[in-house]
Amino acid sequence: MSNNKHNLIGIRYAAVAAAASLSLLLAGCGGSEPEPTRAPEPAAAVAVEPTKVPADIIEKGKGVYNQYGCQACHAIQGFAEGAVGPALTNLYVNAQKTIASSEYKSSAGKATTVEEYIRESILNPNAFVVAQCPTGPCPQGVMVQNFKDQISESDLEALVGNLMTLGR
């Protein structure tokens, strides 16, 4: 058999196979309307890594933490030894849990993000009082009540930025 005949037979078989495949495909459709496309199922909620805080803001925030005496009440492992208010070493994770808790949701707290929660805790400390402090139940009013009148916006931003890095 010559090469041309061999190629012609191969082409015929390919054409027959393609026609058969097309017939099967069309038969499977049944000629009816296609089913409407369903919306994809929603993905499970995934914790998103917070925006990275610039190193200069973190450093300024550490200074602000000391300047305003936060270390006298709040411990941060390896940085501050305070024992009056809640420890802040794992603040980021603890804040996420707090915001999701029924206790927080039924309080005057309105934060929906860790950053909002930290800011709220500084500026409106009685919106939500953490249940447990190192020496027992955390009392309402123990945090400086007029801190919002004492701290500049720049210092507040640095303090919140620094605290956002704790526990991540």
- 111-134 pLDDT per residue, tens: 999 999 999 999 999 999 999 999
For residue 160, is pLDDT > 60? yes
Residue type, 134: P
**Which pLDDT value is given to residue 119?**
98
Using left for φ > 0, alpha for ψ between -120 and 50, and beta otherwise, residue 30 falls in left
> For 79, which DSSP code?
T
- Region 101-116: mean pLDDT is 97
- pLDDT exceeds 50 at position 135: yes
Evaluate whether the domain defined by 55-163 bears CATH number 3.20.20.150.
no
Q: pLDDT tens, 4-45?
A: 444 434 444 344 343 443 343 334 444 444 444 444 444 334
Considering the entire predicted model, what is its pTM? 0.69
Would you place residue 166 in the very low, low, confident or very high pLDDT band (cuts 50, 70, 90)? very high
- How much is the pLDDT for 14? 40
- Does pLDDT of 163 surpass 70? yes
Lowest mean pLDDT among 51-55, 78-82, 139-143: 51-55
pLDDT digits (tens, 9 = 90+) for 65-92: 999 999 999 999 999 999 999 999 999 9
Q: pLDDT class for 168, splitting at 50, 70, 90?
A: confident
Amino acid identity, position 72: A
**Domain segments of the chain as ranges:** 55-163
What is the distance between the alpha carbons of residues 119 and 21, in angstroms, rounded to a whole number?
Answer: 65
CA separation for the pair 17, 11 (Å, rounded)? 10
Beta-carbon-side half-sphere exposure of residue 148 (alpha carbons within 13 Å): 10
